[in-house]
Amino acid sequence: MRIMVQGTSSSCGKSITVAALCRIFYQDGYRVCPFKSQNMSLNSYVDDEGLEMGRAQVLQAQAAGIQPRAFMNPILLKPTTDKKSQVIIMGRPYKNMDAVEYFEYKANLKDKIKEIYKMIEKNFDIVVIEGAGSPAEINLKENDIVNMGMADIANSKVILVADIDKGGVFASIYGTYMLLEDEERKRIKGIIINKFRGDKLLLKSGIEKIESLINVPVIGIVPYFNLKLEDEDAAGYRKEKANGKINIRVINLPRISNFTDFDAFMFDEDATIKFIDRPIELEGADMVIIPGSKNTLEDLRWLKVSGFYDELLKFDGIVFGICGGYQMMGNKVIDVEGWETQKGDFEEGLKFFDTTTFLLGDKKTRNISGQAFGKRIKGYEIHMGKTINNKNPFVEINFEKENYLDGDYKDNKYFGTYVHGIFDSGEFRSFILNLIRDKKGIRIKKSVDLDEKREEELNKLADIFRQNVDIDFIYKLMKEEE
Protein backbone atom coordinates (compact mmCIF):
# COMPACT_ATOMS: atom_id res chain seq x y z
CA MET A 1 0.00 0.00 0.00
CA ARG A 2 1.08 3.58 -0.52
CA ILE A 3 -0.16 7.15 -0.04
CA MET A 4 1.42 10.41 -1.17
CA VAL A 5 1.36 13.75 0.66
CA GLN A 6 1.67 16.87 -1.49
CA GLY A 7 1.20 20.49 -0.50
CA THR A 8 -0.06 23.79 -1.79
CA SER A 9 3.31 25.38 -0.95
CA SER A 10 6.62 24.87 0.78
CA SER A 11 6.49 24.74 4.59
CA CYS A 12 2.78 23.93 4.64
CA GLY A 13 3.32 20.83 6.78
CA LYS A 14 4.00 18.00 4.32
CA SER A 15 6.97 16.63 6.27
CA ILE A 16 5.21 16.60 9.64
CA THR A 17 2.11 15.03 8.06
CA VAL A 18 4.24 12.23 6.63
CA ALA A 19 5.88 11.77 10.04
CA ALA A 20 2.46 11.59 11.71
CA LEU A 21 1.17 8.99 9.25
CA CYS A 22 4.36 6.94 9.61
CA ARG A 23 3.95 6.87 13.39
CA ILE A 24 0.23 5.99 13.16
CA PHE A 25 0.83 3.13 10.73
CA TYR A 26 3.75 1.92 12.87
CA GLN A 27 1.56 1.99 15.98
CA ASP A 28 -1.04 -0.02 14.06
CA GLY A 29 1.49 -2.78 13.40
CA TYR A 30 2.57 -2.07 9.81
CA ARG A 31 6.09 -2.04 8.39
CA VAL A 32 6.15 1.49 7.01
CA CYS A 33 8.78 3.49 5.13
CA PRO A 34 8.91 7.21 4.22
CA PHE A 35 10.12 8.25 0.77
CA LYS A 36 10.96 11.60 -0.83
CA SER A 37 12.54 11.24 -4.24
CA GLN A 38 14.15 14.69 -4.28
CA ASN A 39 14.82 17.08 -1.44
CA MET A 40 16.51 20.47 -1.37
CA SER A 41 18.02 21.21 2.01
CA LEU A 42 21.20 22.15 3.80
CA ASN A 43 19.90 20.27 6.80
CA SER A 44 21.25 16.79 6.17
CA TYR A 45 22.16 13.62 8.03
CA VAL A 46 24.46 10.63 7.54
CA ASP A 47 23.05 7.12 7.84
CA ASP A 48 24.84 4.07 9.23
CA GLU A 49 26.42 3.39 5.83
CA GLY A 50 27.91 6.88 5.67
CA LEU A 51 25.39 8.04 3.06
CA GLU A 52 23.90 11.53 3.16
CA MET A 53 20.15 12.24 3.23
CA GLY A 54 17.66 14.97 4.10
CA ARG A 55 16.94 15.46 7.78
CA ALA A 56 13.14 15.38 7.41
CA GLN A 57 13.29 11.77 6.21
CA VAL A 58 15.33 10.93 9.32
CA LEU A 59 12.49 12.09 11.58
CA GLN A 60 10.00 10.22 9.42
CA ALA A 61 12.07 7.02 9.66
CA GLN A 62 12.20 7.38 13.42
CA ALA A 63 8.43 7.84 13.40
CA ALA A 64 8.19 4.59 11.43
CA GLY A 65 10.37 2.78 13.97
CA ILE A 66 13.18 2.05 11.50
CA GLN A 67 16.74 3.20 10.93
CA PRO A 68 17.14 6.13 8.49
CA ARG A 69 18.57 5.07 5.11
CA ALA A 70 19.64 7.18 2.14
CA PHE A 71 17.27 5.29 -0.20
CA MET A 72 14.43 7.13 1.58
CA ASN A 73 15.76 10.33 -0.06
CA PRO A 74 17.78 9.29 -3.14
CA ILE A 75 18.28 12.80 -4.56
CA LEU A 76 19.47 15.57 -2.23
CA LEU A 77 20.23 19.08 -3.49
CA LYS A 78 22.43 21.20 -1.20
CA PRO A 79 22.65 24.85 -2.33
CA THR A 80 26.23 26.13 -2.43
CA THR A 81 25.46 29.59 -3.85
CA ASP A 82 22.32 31.43 -4.93
CA LYS A 83 22.59 29.72 -8.33
CA LYS A 84 24.29 26.35 -7.74
CA SER A 85 23.67 23.22 -5.71
CA GLN A 86 25.68 20.13 -4.90
CA VAL A 87 23.74 17.18 -6.31
CA ILE A 88 23.89 14.12 -4.06
CA ILE A 89 22.67 10.83 -5.54
CA MET A 90 22.01 7.90 -3.21
CA GLY A 91 24.01 9.56 -0.47
CA ARG A 92 27.13 10.39 -2.50
CA PRO A 93 28.12 13.73 -4.08
CA TYR A 94 27.74 13.66 -7.87
CA LYS A 95 28.62 17.19 -8.99
CA ASN A 96 27.71 20.85 -8.55
CA MET A 97 25.07 22.07 -11.00
CA ASP A 98 23.18 25.27 -11.67
CA ALA A 99 19.40 25.16 -11.92
CA VAL A 100 19.25 24.96 -15.73
CA GLU A 101 21.82 22.14 -15.86
CA TYR A 102 19.99 20.13 -13.22
CA PHE A 103 16.59 20.74 -14.85
CA GLU A 104 17.96 19.21 -18.05
CA TYR A 105 19.67 16.36 -16.19
CA LYS A 106 16.88 15.18 -13.91
CA ALA A 107 15.13 13.22 -16.70
CA ASN A 108 18.05 10.79 -16.39
CA LEU A 109 17.11 10.13 -12.75
CA LYS A 110 13.59 8.88 -13.33
CA ASP A 111 14.51 5.23 -13.93
CA LYS A 112 16.80 5.23 -10.88
CA ILE A 113 14.04 6.63 -8.67
CA LYS A 114 11.57 4.08 -9.99
CA GLU A 115 14.00 1.25 -9.25
CA ILE A 116 14.60 2.46 -5.68
CA TYR A 117 10.90 3.00 -5.04
CA LYS A 118 9.98 -0.49 -6.27
CA MET A 119 12.62 -1.98 -3.96
CA ILE A 120 11.08 -0.14 -0.99
CA GLU A 121 7.57 -1.21 -1.94
CA LYS A 122 8.66 -4.87 -1.96
CA ASN A 123 10.10 -4.67 1.53
CA PHE A 124 7.44 -2.68 3.39
CA ASP A 125 3.69 -2.88 3.95
CA ILE A 126 3.12 0.86 3.45
CA VAL A 127 5.14 3.60 1.75
CA VAL A 128 4.33 7.21 2.69
CA ILE A 129 5.62 9.46 -0.08
CA GLU A 130 6.31 13.17 0.31
CA GLY A 131 6.23 15.73 -2.48
CA ALA A 132 8.23 18.96 -2.63
CA GLY A 133 7.02 22.53 -2.86
CA SER A 134 3.78 22.39 -4.82
CA PRO A 135 2.57 20.24 -7.74
CA ALA A 136 1.24 23.44 -9.32
CA GLU A 137 4.71 24.85 -10.06
CA ILE A 138 3.94 24.69 -13.77
CA ASN A 139 7.41 25.90 -14.79
CA LEU A 140 8.93 22.76 -13.23
CA LYS A 141 6.44 20.13 -14.38
CA GLU A 142 8.49 18.89 -17.33
CA ASN A 143 10.31 15.71 -16.27
CA ASP A 144 8.90 16.06 -12.74
CA ILE A 145 10.24 13.41 -10.40
CA VAL A 146 8.96 14.60 -7.03
CA ASN A 147 5.30 15.62 -7.21
CA MET A 148 2.76 14.29 -9.71
CA GLY A 149 5.59 12.68 -11.66
CA MET A 150 6.41 10.67 -8.54
CA ALA A 151 2.72 9.91 -7.94
CA ASP A 152 2.64 8.48 -11.45
CA ILE A 153 5.76 6.34 -10.81
CA ALA A 154 4.20 4.94 -7.64
CA ASN A 155 0.63 4.93 -8.99
CA SER A 156 -0.34 6.64 -5.74
CA LYS A 157 -3.34 8.56 -4.57
CA VAL A 158 -2.59 11.97 -3.09
CA ILE A 159 -3.54 13.87 0.05
CA LEU A 160 -3.10 17.64 -0.41
CA VAL A 161 -1.98 19.66 2.63
CA ALA A 162 -2.73 23.38 2.87
CA ASP A 163 -1.48 25.89 5.47
CA ILE A 164 -4.29 28.09 6.81
CA ASP A 165 -1.97 30.04 9.13
CA LYS A 166 -0.57 32.07 6.21
CA GLY A 167 -4.05 33.06 5.04
CA GLY A 168 -5.74 32.40 1.70
CA VAL A 169 -6.10 28.68 2.31
CA PHE A 170 -9.12 28.15 0.04
CA ALA A 171 -7.53 30.11 -2.80
CA SER A 172 -4.37 28.03 -2.47
CA ILE A 173 -6.36 24.77 -2.54
CA TYR A 174 -8.47 25.84 -5.52
CA GLY A 175 -5.55 27.37 -7.42
CA THR A 176 -3.38 24.30 -6.93
CA TYR A 177 -6.14 21.98 -8.05
CA MET A 178 -7.10 24.01 -11.13
CA LEU A 179 -3.50 24.30 -12.37
CA LEU A 180 -3.20 20.53 -12.57
CA GLU A 181 -3.99 18.41 -15.62
CA ASP A 182 -7.17 16.31 -15.54
CA GLU A 183 -5.26 13.07 -14.87
CA GLU A 184 -3.36 14.73 -12.05
CA ARG A 185 -6.53 16.05 -10.43
CA LYS A 186 -7.93 12.52 -10.33
CA ARG A 187 -5.10 11.51 -8.01
CA ILE A 188 -6.07 14.05 -5.30
CA LYS A 189 -8.49 12.25 -2.98
CA GLY A 190 -8.45 14.33 0.19
CA ILE A 191 -7.51 17.70 1.66
CA ILE A 192 -5.92 18.38 5.05
CA ILE A 193 -6.08 21.96 6.33
CA ASN A 194 -3.09 22.48 8.61
CA LYS A 195 -2.10 24.93 11.38
CA PHE A 196 -5.63 26.06 12.25
CA ARG A 197 -6.25 28.35 15.24
CA GLY A 198 -9.76 28.89 16.49
CA ASP A 199 -13.18 27.24 16.29
CA LYS A 200 -13.56 24.74 13.44
CA LEU A 201 -17.21 25.74 13.05
CA LEU A 202 -16.00 28.99 11.49
CA LEU A 203 -14.60 26.96 8.58
CA LYS A 204 -17.80 25.08 7.82
CA SER A 205 -19.11 27.27 4.99
CA GLY A 206 -15.67 27.55 3.40
CA ILE A 207 -15.18 23.79 3.49
CA GLU A 208 -18.59 23.15 1.97
CA LYS A 209 -17.81 25.61 -0.84
CA ILE A 210 -14.34 24.26 -1.66
CA GLU A 211 -15.61 20.67 -1.62
CA SER A 212 -18.36 21.59 -4.08
CA LEU A 213 -15.89 23.42 -6.35
CA ILE A 214 -13.31 20.65 -6.66
CA ASN A 215 -15.32 17.60 -5.56
CA VAL A 216 -12.60 16.50 -3.11
CA PRO A 217 -13.39 16.08 0.60
CA VAL A 218 -11.59 17.88 3.41
CA ILE A 219 -10.57 14.92 5.58
CA GLY A 220 -8.86 16.81 8.39
CA ILE A 221 -8.36 20.14 10.12
CA VAL A 222 -5.16 19.94 12.12
CA PRO A 223 -4.81 22.56 14.89
CA TYR A 224 -1.72 24.68 15.28
CA PHE A 225 0.60 22.88 17.69
CA ASN A 226 4.05 23.41 19.09
CA LEU A 227 5.72 20.03 19.46
CA LYS A 228 9.50 19.91 19.76
CA LEU A 229 10.08 18.22 16.41
CA GLU A 230 11.91 19.36 13.30
CA ASP A 231 8.99 19.60 10.89
CA GLU A 232 10.50 21.01 7.71
CA ASP A 233 13.76 21.12 5.77
CA ALA A 234 12.96 24.61 4.48
CA ALA A 235 15.72 27.20 4.63
CA GLY A 236 13.70 29.54 6.83
CA TYR A 237 12.85 26.96 9.47
CA ARG A 238 14.49 27.39 12.90
CA LYS A 239 13.45 26.13 16.35
CA GLU A 240 13.70 28.81 19.04
CA LYS A 241 12.73 29.01 22.71
CA ALA A 242 12.62 31.97 25.09
CA ASN A 243 12.32 32.62 28.83
CA GLY A 244 15.33 30.65 30.07
CA LYS A 245 18.07 32.05 32.31
CA ILE A 246 20.83 30.62 30.08
CA ASN A 247 21.04 32.62 26.87
CA ILE A 248 22.28 30.71 23.81
CA ARG A 249 22.67 32.47 20.48
CA VAL A 250 23.23 30.75 17.12
CA ILE A 251 24.66 32.92 14.35
CA ASN A 252 22.31 32.67 11.39
CA LEU A 253 24.94 32.30 8.67
CA PRO A 254 23.73 33.02 5.11
CA ARG A 255 24.66 29.45 4.10
CA ILE A 256 23.86 27.77 7.42
CA SER A 257 23.58 23.99 7.39
CA ASN A 258 22.33 21.43 9.91
CA PHE A 259 20.45 23.96 12.02
CA THR A 260 18.71 21.12 13.89
CA ASP A 261 22.01 20.54 15.72
CA PHE A 262 20.57 22.78 18.45
CA ASP A 263 17.02 21.42 18.79
CA ALA A 264 17.99 19.47 21.92
CA PHE A 265 18.21 22.71 23.91
CA MET A 266 14.42 22.92 23.57
CA PHE A 267 14.21 20.33 26.34
CA ASP A 268 16.29 22.30 28.85
CA GLU A 269 13.82 24.47 30.77
CA ASP A 270 16.37 27.09 31.81
CA ALA A 271 17.85 27.53 28.30
CA THR A 272 16.88 30.17 25.75
CA ILE A 273 17.87 29.40 22.15
CA LYS A 274 17.75 32.11 19.50
CA PHE A 275 19.12 32.51 15.96
CA ILE A 276 20.61 35.95 15.41
CA ASP A 277 21.44 38.07 12.37
CA ARG A 278 23.09 41.15 13.97
CA PRO A 279 26.09 41.46 16.29
CA ILE A 280 24.08 43.59 18.74
CA GLU A 281 22.02 40.49 19.51
CA LEU A 282 25.06 38.94 21.20
CA GLU A 283 24.38 41.22 24.17
CA GLY A 284 23.50 39.16 27.24
CA ALA A 285 24.45 35.83 25.65
CA ASP A 286 26.18 33.14 27.71
CA MET A 287 27.14 31.01 24.71
CA VAL A 288 27.31 31.76 21.00
CA ILE A 289 27.34 28.92 18.49
CA ILE A 290 28.87 29.19 15.02
CA PRO A 291 26.99 26.50 13.09
CA GLY A 292 27.84 24.45 10.03
CA SER A 293 28.08 26.11 6.64
CA LYS A 294 27.80 24.95 3.05
CA ASN A 295 30.35 27.62 2.07
CA THR A 296 32.77 28.22 4.93
CA LEU A 297 34.91 30.82 3.16
CA GLU A 298 32.00 33.02 2.12
CA ASP A 299 30.30 32.75 5.52
CA LEU A 300 33.59 33.58 7.25
CA ARG A 301 33.80 36.68 5.07
CA TRP A 302 30.21 37.51 6.01
CA LEU A 303 31.17 37.32 9.70
CA LYS A 304 33.72 40.05 9.02
CA VAL A 305 31.50 42.29 6.89
CA SER A 306 28.53 41.96 9.26
CA GLY A 307 30.57 42.87 12.33
CA PHE A 308 30.25 39.49 14.06
CA TYR A 309 33.96 38.79 13.68
CA ASP A 310 35.06 41.77 15.79
CA GLU A 311 32.37 41.17 18.40
CA LEU A 312 33.31 37.51 18.76
CA LEU A 313 36.90 38.50 19.51
CA LYS A 314 35.58 40.51 22.49
CA PHE A 315 32.87 38.05 23.55
CA ASP A 316 33.11 37.00 27.21
CA GLY A 317 31.08 33.78 27.11
CA ILE A 318 31.52 30.39 25.47
CA VAL A 319 32.09 30.21 21.71
CA PHE A 320 31.21 26.83 20.24
CA GLY A 321 31.82 25.96 16.58
CA ILE A 322 30.42 22.95 14.73
CA CYS A 323 31.88 21.75 11.43
CA GLY A 324 32.24 24.91 9.29
CA GLY A 325 31.97 26.97 12.47
CA TYR A 326 34.88 25.00 13.94
CA GLN A 327 36.91 25.66 10.78
CA MET A 328 36.28 29.41 11.12
CA MET A 329 37.66 29.40 14.68
CA GLY A 330 41.17 28.51 13.49
CA ASN A 331 43.97 30.51 11.89
CA LYS A 332 43.08 30.01 8.25
CA VAL A 333 40.77 28.20 5.83
CA ILE A 334 42.28 27.35 2.43
CA ASP A 335 40.20 26.20 -0.56
CA VAL A 336 42.92 24.02 -2.06
CA GLU A 337 40.91 22.58 -4.96
CA GLY A 338 38.32 25.32 -5.52
CA TRP A 339 35.32 23.48 -4.07
CA GLU A 340 33.70 26.58 -2.55
CA THR A 341 35.24 29.53 -4.38
CA GLN A 342 38.37 29.11 -6.50
CA LYS A 343 41.60 27.14 -6.27
CA GLY A 344 43.98 28.47 -3.66
CA ASP A 345 41.53 30.99 -2.23
CA PHE A 346 41.84 31.46 1.54
CA GLU A 347 40.56 33.49 4.46
CA GLU A 348 42.01 34.28 7.88
CA GLY A 349 39.94 32.81 10.70
CA LEU A 350 39.09 33.96 14.21
CA LYS A 351 42.37 32.47 15.52
CA PHE A 352 40.90 31.05 18.71
CA PHE A 353 42.76 27.85 17.78
CA ASP A 354 46.12 27.33 16.07
CA THR A 355 44.46 25.21 13.39
CA THR A 356 44.52 25.42 9.61
CA THR A 357 41.78 23.86 7.50
CA PHE A 358 42.35 22.64 3.96
CA LEU A 359 39.19 22.22 1.87
CA LEU A 360 39.70 19.05 -0.16
CA GLY A 361 37.50 16.97 -2.44
CA ASP A 362 37.34 13.86 -0.27
CA LYS A 363 34.05 14.32 1.59
CA LYS A 364 33.88 12.53 4.95
CA THR A 365 30.39 11.24 5.75
CA ARG A 366 30.10 8.86 8.67
CA ASN A 367 27.88 8.02 11.61
CA ILE A 368 29.94 7.98 14.80
CA SER A 369 29.82 7.46 18.54
CA GLY A 370 32.33 8.18 21.28
CA GLN A 371 33.04 10.44 24.22
CA ALA A 372 33.60 14.15 24.78
CA PHE A 373 35.23 15.07 28.10
CA GLY A 374 34.26 11.56 29.16
CA LYS A 375 30.59 12.13 28.31
CA ARG A 376 28.87 9.70 25.96
CA ILE A 377 28.01 11.14 22.54
CA LYS A 378 26.83 10.01 19.13
CA GLY A 379 26.37 11.96 15.93
CA TYR A 380 27.69 12.22 12.40
CA GLU A 381 30.29 13.97 10.28
CA ILE A 382 29.67 15.69 6.91
CA HIS A 383 32.63 17.75 5.77
CA MET A 384 35.23 18.16 3.04
CA GLY A 385 37.84 19.91 5.19
CA LYS A 386 40.92 18.52 6.86
CA THR A 387 41.91 20.46 9.98
CA ILE A 388 45.46 20.18 11.31
CA ASN A 389 47.32 21.33 14.44
CA ASN A 390 44.37 20.92 16.80
CA LYS A 391 46.31 20.95 20.06
CA ASN A 392 43.56 20.01 22.52
CA PRO A 393 41.10 17.57 20.91
CA PHE A 394 38.30 16.75 23.34
CA VAL A 395 36.24 14.25 21.32
CA GLU A 396 37.23 10.58 21.17
CA ILE A 397 35.49 9.08 18.15
CA ASN A 398 34.77 5.41 17.59
CA PHE A 399 34.00 4.50 13.99
CA GLU A 400 33.89 0.80 13.16
CA LYS A 401 37.42 -0.39 14.08
CA GLU A 402 38.91 3.10 13.82
CA ASN A 403 39.43 5.36 16.84
CA TYR A 404 40.58 8.94 16.45
CA LEU A 405 40.49 12.35 18.13
CA ASP A 406 38.46 15.33 16.96
CA GLY A 407 37.98 18.99 17.78
CA ASP A 408 39.82 21.54 19.84
CA TYR A 409 39.17 23.55 22.99
CA LYS A 410 40.79 26.29 24.99
CA ASP A 411 40.25 27.71 28.49
CA ASN A 412 36.79 26.10 28.83
CA LYS A 413 35.67 29.00 26.64
CA TYR A 414 36.37 27.98 23.04
CA PHE A 415 35.12 24.64 21.70
CA GLY A 416 35.09 23.30 18.16
CA THR A 417 34.18 19.92 16.66
CA TYR A 418 33.17 18.25 13.40
CA VAL A 419 30.48 16.20 15.17
CA HIS A 420 26.94 17.15 14.18
CA GLY A 421 24.38 16.17 16.79
CA ILE A 422 26.83 16.41 19.69
CA PHE A 423 24.27 18.33 21.77
CA ASP A 424 21.70 15.53 21.34
CA SER A 425 23.55 13.70 24.11
CA GLY A 426 22.07 14.61 27.48
CA GLU A 427 25.39 13.93 29.21
CA PHE A 428 27.39 16.29 26.99
CA ARG A 429 24.71 18.97 26.90
CA SER A 430 24.61 18.88 30.70
CA PHE A 431 28.39 19.34 30.81
CA ILE A 432 28.30 22.48 28.64
CA LEU A 433 25.22 23.99 30.28
CA ASN A 434 26.58 23.30 33.77
CA LEU A 435 29.70 25.33 32.94
CA ILE A 436 27.35 28.25 32.38
CA ARG A 437 25.13 27.44 35.36
CA ASP A 438 28.16 27.31 37.64
CA LYS A 439 29.37 30.68 36.38
CA LYS A 440 25.93 32.25 36.88
CA GLY A 441 25.22 30.60 40.23
CA ILE A 442 22.33 28.54 38.86
CA ARG A 443 21.50 25.08 40.21
CA ILE A 444 23.24 22.26 38.32
CA LYS A 445 20.86 20.11 36.26
CA LYS A 446 20.83 16.96 34.17
CA SER A 447 19.71 17.04 30.54
CA VAL A 448 17.86 14.27 28.71
CA ASP A 449 18.85 12.58 25.45
CA LEU A 450 17.07 13.99 22.42
CA ASP A 451 16.14 10.53 21.08
CA GLU A 452 14.25 9.73 24.28
CA LYS A 453 12.19 12.93 24.17
CA ARG A 454 11.60 12.64 20.42
CA GLU A 455 9.71 9.37 20.95
CA GLU A 456 7.35 11.12 23.35
CA GLU A 457 6.79 13.96 20.88
CA LEU A 458 6.14 11.57 17.97
CA ASN A 459 3.47 9.78 19.98
CA LYS A 460 1.85 13.13 20.81
CA LEU A 461 1.96 13.98 17.09
CA ALA A 462 0.18 10.75 16.20
CA ASP A 463 -2.50 11.50 18.80
CA ILE A 464 -3.12 14.96 17.32
CA PHE A 465 -3.59 13.53 13.82
CA ARG A 466 -5.77 10.65 14.97
CA GLN A 467 -8.06 13.15 16.69
CA ASN A 468 -8.26 15.57 13.77
CA VAL A 469 -7.79 13.59 10.53
CA ASP A 470 -9.95 10.79 9.12
CA ILE A 471 -7.31 8.03 9.24
CA ASP A 472 -9.88 5.37 8.33
CA PHE A 473 -10.49 7.28 5.08
CA ILE A 474 -6.75 7.14 4.29
CA TYR A 475 -6.62 3.39 5.02
CA LYS A 476 -9.59 2.88 2.69
CA LEU A 477 -7.84 4.86 -0.06
CA MET A 478 -4.71 2.75 0.20
CA LYS A 479 -6.56 -0.57 0.28
CA GLU A 480 -8.58 0.34 -2.82
CA GLU A 481 -5.32 0.26 -4.82
CA GLU A 482 -4.47 -3.31 -3.88
Specify whether the CB–CB gap between 62 and 68 falls below 8 A.
Answer: yes
In sequence order, the 6+-apart residues with CB closer than 8 A to the CB of 227 are: 457, 460, 461, 464
Distance of alpha carbon 459 from alpha carbon 62, whole angstroms? 11
Question: Active-site residue 420, yes or no?
Answer: yes
- Give the whole-angstrom CA distance, residue 385 versus residue 448: 31
Extended beta strands in 67-179, E state: 75-79, 84-89, 92-98, 126-130, 158-163
What are φ and ψ of residue 106, in 5° steps? -65, -20
Q: Cα–Cα distance between 242 and 244 in angstroms, integer?
A: 6
The C-alpha R_g of the chain, in whole angstroms, comes to 23
φ/ψ of 131, rounded to 5, equals -85, -170
Q: Is 53 helix (H, G, I), strand (E, B) or coil?
A: strand
CA-nearest of 16, 33, 9 to 129 is 33
User: Exactly one of 12, 22, 33, 323 is catalytic; which is it?
Assistant: 323
> To 5 degrees, how large is the angle CA 378–CA 381–CA 384?
170
Helix (H) or strand (E) holding 388: strand 375-388
The answer to whether 383 is a known catalytic residue is no
Among the options 12, 33, 383, 420, which is catalytic?
A: 420
Q: Catalytic positions, please?
A: 323, 420
